[in-house]
Structure 1
Amino acid sequence: MSNEESRNSLADQAAAWVPPWQRPTPPGKTDDDPPHQEDLETETPPEGPEVSKIPQDPAGAAAEAEDLGDAVPLEGPRASKIAQDGDVGDAAGADSDAADANGGVAGEGAAGRVPKKQPAARRRVVVAPEPAPELDDAELRGALEAILLVVDEPVAEATLAEVLEQPPARVGAMLDQIAAGYTASGYGFELRRAAGGWRLYTRPEYAGYVERFVLEGQSVRLTQAALETLAVVAYKQPVTRSRISAIRGVNCDGVIRTLVTRGLVEECGSEPESGAFLYRTTTLFLEKLGLNTVDELPPLAPFLPDDVEELSDATR
């Protein structure tokens, strides 16, 4: 067979070919029967205007929609009928679920539903510490005396009240009572307020005996120059070193360094005009002298000459 005859034969076959969906149904075969294998092999998806010629089967589509259930939305009277028939069971199930969620109340709709009670928020309970037991007067007095015997510096009322866990007002009143009792009984020591706190001191009338006991065989700790310089600082504070030297008439730089080292004098800023350091006495100074403030220092007027101001101005 030549090539031309072969092409004519293929053209005739293509012209005579009929798609499977347009072929007449053979006798004894229905549309529901599965297609033969040869039909599937030769069947090709339609293109172009042939798509619109595919016969529609509303009955088959509806049956498939019923099998799929809610997966395929339906339209038209068929869909409304299915919705009416199926909504009865769904509504009953929804009411049952709503009744379980709302504590057994069902059939009242969204407006009548009772919301489920939420658990109450946890509240943090703060337990207040138990108050310290109140000491009686005898025990409080004994505790204060025991502490005051071992302290090496004046102790404030607030510190004693914190240690004993008692009100500061009660501790202060008991300290005053103890001090008055020592004085009335004539003890060789007394309880005195000094440097912002309380401490036991020997009485002035027994100072000679104490001095002999402490200083026997020992040298005086401060020289005369140191004592004079310390007195100038105590009465003129805050004061510069040049002012101290002018009052004493000698250079006192070395003495000032000694007093600072002993903790009796300290720096307290500088003079605005000259920038020189200012010096003042410390708490240790008040403690050693048994004073509460520098205002308790004895007046110097009885010991000064009448022309002290003129002498002071002349040395400037």
Structure 2
Amino acid sequence: MSNEERRDSLADQAAAWIPPWQRSPEPSADLGAKVPSQGQPHTRVSTDESASDEQAEGRAAAEGVAEPAVEPAAETIAGAAPEGSAGAEESAAPGESVGAGEGAAAGRKRTGGRARALPEPPPVLDDAELRGALEAILLVVDEPVSELTLAQVLEQPAERIGPMLDEIAAGYTAAGHGFELRRAAGGWRLYTRPEYATYVERFVLDGQSVRLTQAALETLAVVAYKQPVTRSRISAIRGVNCDGVIRTLVTRGLIEECGTESDSGAYLYRTSTMFLEKLGLNSLDDLPPLAPFLPDDVEELADATR
């Protein structure tokens, strides 16, 4: 081949050369199938190798094949979304914001999943009902009952009980009833009035009276004014042995043991709550003074016994 022919051949080849980015892809075995390209939408490959790129694009447009918009996968969005944002909104009810859902959940955690009802306060009794309730209780008590106990039973403030009891007692006195309400042994109880004592004694004690002997009364008086006191001290004051009388007073519940003396270890005795109740006393401070009952020559008698 001559040089001129070689130059003509090279010129023809240069004129027919197509850049790689303008070349059509190689057809696959199935000429009618779509050949996917990584990262690109699916397009149909023309079977005519001599067709140009413009003709292939025209046929694709005529067939209605459009390039789809590339959108990120839903998994990527869900995975990249921060906790409590779009992903959290999927579990929330329609129309409810995430903040409101979190607040409701926190409220359910604080209340244990259910609303806790506060205990209802006890009803406040009016004066008439409180008065009736106190009178009913005082009719059945066996011993004086304190204001605190009455307040606890009725579930009422303690500061209401005392004034109401004073009012009830004043009402009984003003009405002239045969009974009265008074304090005794640190509490309140109904008692018959002293002016009707003879009738009560005739009904209760006639044929059944068990009176204390003179020795028992003297021993009880010594214990009341000298308590706490030992047996030997009582016997020394009375001048006789008092063991039997003390046992009788303990059996009847008028006196009781209250420990032992530190020096001798002897038992100490004091008056009981029943003693205050039977005598109608609120405390030992209400005992009458002894001075008016002592004889005028008490000092001479004391000297004579020495």
TM-score normalised by structure 2 residue count: 0.63
The residue correspondences of 1:159-198 to structure 2 (distance < 5 A) are 159-198=149-188
Q: Structure 2 vs 1, CA of residues 278 and 96 (structure 1 numbering), >3 Å: closer, same or farther?
A: closer
Structure 2 CA distance for aligned equivalents of residues 128 and 300 of structure 1: 59
Would you say how many aligned residue pairs link Structure 1 and Structure 2? 220
Structure 2 CA distance for aligned equivalents of residues 292 and 278 of structure 1: 22
Q: Does the 8 Å CA contact 1:239/1:278 hold for their aligned counterparts? A: yes
Structure 1 position 176, deviation (Å): 0.2
Q: Percent identity?
A: 79
SS at structure 2 position matched to 1:245: helix
Structure 1, residues 68-96: CA drift from partner, whole Å, max 9, x if none?
xxxxxxxxxxxxxxxxxxxxxxx997665
Which residue of structure 1 lines up, in the alignment, with residue 131 of structure 2? 141
Structure 2 CA distance for aligned equivalents of residues 92 and 303 of structure 1: 110
SS at structure 1 position matched to 2:265: coil
Structure 1 position 167, deviation (Å): 1.3
Structure 1 CA distance for aligned equivalents of residues 132 and 142 of structure 2: 18
Structure 1 CA distance for aligned equivalents of residues 184 and 205 of structure 2: 23
Amino acid at match of 1:289: L
Structure 1, residues 223-268: CA drift from partner, whole Å, max 9, x if none?
2222211111111111111111111111111111121122111111
2:285 is equivalent to residue 295 of structure 1 = yes
2:260 is equivalent to residue 278 of structure 1 = no
Which residue of structure 2 lines up, in the alignment, with residue 230 of structure 1? 220
Structure 1 position 279, deviation (Å): 0.6
Which residue of structure 1 lines up, in the alignment, with residue 106 of structure 2? 120
2:88 is equivalent to residue 103 of structure 1 = no
Q: Structure 2 vs 1, CA of residues 138 and 241 (structure 1 numbering), >3 Å: closer, same or farther?
A: same
Structure 1 position 289, deviation (Å): 1.1
| Moved >3 Å (runs of 4+) | 91-96, 100-105, 124-127, 306-316
Q: Structure 2 vs 1, CA of residues 126 and 292 (structure 1 numbering), >3 Å: closer, same or farther?
A: farther
The residue correspondences of 1:1-316 to structure 2 (distance < 5 A) are 97-99=79-81, 103-104=85-86, 120=106, 122-124=109-111, 127-308=117-298
Structure 1 CA distance for aligned equivalents of residues 293 and 84 of structure 2: 99
Q: Does the 8 Å CA contact 1:247/1:315 hold for their aligned counterparts? A: no
Shifted more, 277-286 versus 223-232: the winner is 223-232
Structure 2 CA distance for aligned equivalents of residues 213 and 93 of structure 1: 101
Shifted more, 273-282 versus 210-219: the winner is 210-219
Q: Which runs of 5+ in 1 are unaligned?
A: 1-90, 106-116
Structure 1 CA distance for aligned equivalents of residues 119 and 278 of structure 2: 41
Structure 1 position 127, deviation (Å): 3.3
Structure 1 position 213, deviation (Å): 2.0
Structure 1 position 306, deviation (Å): 3.7
More helix by share: 1
Q: Structure 2 vs 1, CA of residues 315 and 283 (structure 1 numbering), >3 Å: closer, same or farther?
A: farther
Q: Does the 8 Å CA contact 1:247/1:312 hold for their aligned counterparts? A: no
Which residue of structure 2 lines up, in the alignment, with residue 110 of structure 1? none
Amino acid at match of 1:123: R
Q: Structure 2 vs 1, CA of residues 193 and 96 (structure 1 numbering), >3 Å: closer, same or farther?
A: closer
Structure 1 CA distance for aligned equivalents of residues 190 and 180 of structure 2: 6
Structure 1, residues 6-56: CA drift from partner, whole Å, max 9, x if none?
xxxxxxxxxxxxxxxxxxxxxxxxxxxxxxxxxxxxxxxxxxxxxxxxxxx
TM-score normalised by structure 1 residue count: 0.61
Structure 2 CA distance for aligned equivalents of residues 312 and 96 of structure 1: 110
Structure 1 position 198, deviation (Å): 0.4
Structure 2 CA distance for aligned equivalents of residues 309 and 235 of structure 1: 19
Structure 1 CA distance for aligned equivalents of residues 84 and 194 of structure 2: 90
CA RMSD between the two structures: 3.2
Q: Does the 8 Å CA contact 1:154/1:198 hold for their aligned counterparts? A: yes
